[in-house]
């Protein structure tokens, strides 16, 4: 009996994280599948589905379940990953003649999706923490890819693509809305101890609204992201001297235990330059004064003045404000004839 070639009109969902079941098959009972909508599906023993990657390699679906003449459910192969993250879904009534419509599904390896690196992996509880997320494999450029900082829907932020393996996420919600758990105190003996709170950061392919499906299929495993108390900056020692002078900034709640000590950067607002710094302790860090200072009139004499206005602990991705007006640094005073 000759069977007509079916026609595919839509595929759901369009983004599917690929479960790593090669070593955990006995532990999982998920059965990831795709719903194929179209015309001309026939309930025969030869009903088949397959995935075709961009290199033309076809992978047979483990099963094709007939629902109606307009719907078929196709299982995803549990052990074989296609050669590309975007694959075309094809259906055949007889295993020979395949549908020709180009409906693509984006597949991300769940194992590789779990292998994410966060830079930085810490932030302050007031929100607006920019975090670069690097994955082990390239991510599909789909609109629903997002970032989850915590548990609730309010913790989600959109992912901004930087490259095939990197996205930028912004934790723009305050900590109180994220359902955090306390991870420990840096020094329980101090009255003003730094409080570290840890949450699970995840990438998600679930849309912001509507039915999200099985969350195990739509989100990666959690990666630790630590919130610290917001740092405060009190004094600059010394607050005068020569150019390129090592200075000590005194304050509280510096992320000594979790930050890279050499990633400190200091922003001077009048010259608008960034100088390198080093984290010394949870109350002290070292900044270098600018190599060039503006010349200003100071109570009848000329002086070189600048203001330390922002400090970063993560190489310049996130800067923290230094008081309202910043900390002033006065360069060596010279007479008018010396200029």
Report pLDDT digits (tens) over 184-196.
333 333 434 445 6
- Do 263 and 188 lie in one domain? The reply is no
Question: Could you tell me if 265 and 181 lie in one domain?
Answer: no
Out of 168, 201, 227, a domain closes at 227
Categorize the per-residue pLDDT at 79 as very low, low, confident or very high, splitting at 50, 70 and 90: low
Task: Report whether pLDDT(84) > 50.
Answer: yes
Residue 64 included in any domain:
yes
Residues 204 and 241 in one domain: no
Q: How far apart are CA 143 and CA 210, in angstroms?
A: 14
Is 2 within the bounds of a domain?
A: no
Q: What is the pTM of this model?
A: 0.63
Beta carbons within 10 angstroms of residue 80's beta carbon: 12
What is the number of alpha carbons within 13 Å of residue 218 lying toward its C-beta?
17
What average pLDDT does the segment 46-73 reach?
Answer: 90
For residues 200 and 179, which has the higher predicted lDDT (pLDDT)? 200
Confidence at 31, pLDDT banded by 50, 70, 90: low
Residues 73 and 126 in one domain: no
Pair 92, 175 in one domain: no
- Answer yes or no: is 324 within a domain: yes
**Of 182, 201, 227, which residue is a domain's last?**
227
Indicate if 273 and 292 belong to the same structural domain.
yes
User: Would 165 be classed as within a structural domain?
Assistant: yes
Map tokens 């719903």 to a residue.
35
Give the residue carrying structure tokens 């710094």.
277
* pLDDT given for residue 302 in this prediction: 53
Tell me how many domains the chain contains.
3
Q: Is residue 165 domain-shared with residue 184, that is, in the same domain? A: yes
Helix, strand or coil for residue 231? coil
User: Could you tell me the CATH number of the domain that includes residue 242?
Assistant: 2.60.40.10
Rounded to whole angstroms, how far apart are CA atoms 38 and 13?
A: 14
Tens-place pLDDT, residues 93-110: 998 899 998 778 877 655
The answer to whether residue 1 sits within a structural domain is no
Q: For the residues of 180-221, what is the DSSP string, one character each? A: -EEEEES-TTSTTPPEEEEEEEEEE-S-SSS----HHHHBPP
With respect to residue 260, please indicate whether it lies within any of the assigned structural domains: yes
- Same structural domain for residues 23 and 38? yes
Is the distance from CB of 203 to CB of 220 less than 8 angstroms? yes
Within a domain: residue 276?
Answer: yes
Instruction: Tell which of 194, 227, 260 closes a domain.
Output: 227
Whether residues 105 and 120 fall in one domain: no
Cα–Cα distance for residue pair 219/330, rounded to 1 Å: 52
Same-domain check for residues 99 and 48:
yes
The answer, yes or no, to whether residue 46 has pLDDT greater than 80, is yes
Predicted local confidence at residue 43, as pLDDT: 93
Sign of CA dihedral 134, 140, 141, 143: negative
Interatomic CA distance for residues 196 and 157, integer angstroms: 22
Does residue 40 sit within a domain?
yes
Do 169 and 70 lie in one domain? The reply is no
Q: What is the DSSP pairing of strand 295-298 with strand 301-312?
A: antiparallel
Range(s) of the domain holding residue 320: 232-338
277 is written with which tokens? 């710094």
- In the chain, where does DSSP find H-type helix? 110-114, 215-218
Q: What is the pLDDT of residues 127-184, one digit of tens each?
A: 788 999 988 767 766 666 788 876 555 577 878 889 888 999 887 766 655 554 443 3
């Amino acid at each position: 009996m000759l069977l007509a070639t079916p026609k595919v009109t839509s595929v759901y969902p369009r983004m599917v994280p690929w479960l790593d079941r090669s070593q955990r098959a006995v532990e999982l009972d998920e059965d990831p599948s795709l719903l194929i909508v179209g015309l001309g599906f026939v309930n025969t023993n030869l009903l088949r589905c397959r995935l075709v990657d961009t290199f033309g390699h076809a992978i047979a679906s483990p099963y094709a379940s007939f629902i109606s003449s307009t719907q078929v459910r196709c299982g995803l192969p549990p052990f074989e990953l296609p050669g590309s993250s975007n694959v075309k879904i094809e259906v055949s009534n007889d295993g020979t003649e395949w549908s020709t419509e180009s409906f693509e599904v984006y597949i991300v390896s769940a194992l590789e999706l779990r292998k994410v690196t966060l830079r930085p992996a810490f932030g302050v509880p007031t929100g607006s923490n920019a975090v670069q997320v690097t994955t082990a494999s390239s991510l599909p450029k789909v609109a629903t890819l997002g970032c989850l900082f915590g548990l609730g829907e309010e913790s989600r932020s959109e992912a901004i693509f930087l490259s095939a393996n990197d996205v930028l996420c912004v934790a723009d919600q305050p900590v109180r809305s994220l359902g955090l758990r306390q991870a420990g105190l840096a020094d329980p003996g101090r009255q003003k101890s730094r409080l570290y709170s840890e949450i699970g950061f995840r990438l998600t392919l679930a849309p912001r609204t509507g039915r999200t499906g099985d969350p195990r299929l739509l989100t990666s495993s959690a990666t630790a992201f630590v919130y610290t108390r917001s740092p405060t900056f009190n004094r600059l020692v010394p607050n005068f001297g020569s150019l390129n002078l090592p200075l000590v900034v005194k304050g509280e709640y510096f992320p000594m235990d979790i930050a890279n000590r050499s990633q400190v950067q200091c922003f001077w607002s009048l010259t608008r330059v960034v100088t390198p710094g080093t984290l010394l302790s949870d109350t002290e860090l070292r900044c270098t004064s600018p190599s060039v200072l503006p010349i200003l009139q100071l109570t009848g004499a000329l002086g070189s003045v600048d203001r330390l206005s922002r400090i970063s602990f993560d190489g310049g991705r996130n800067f923290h404000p230094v008081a309202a007006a910043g900390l002033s640094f006065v360069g060596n005073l010279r007479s008018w004839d010396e200029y």
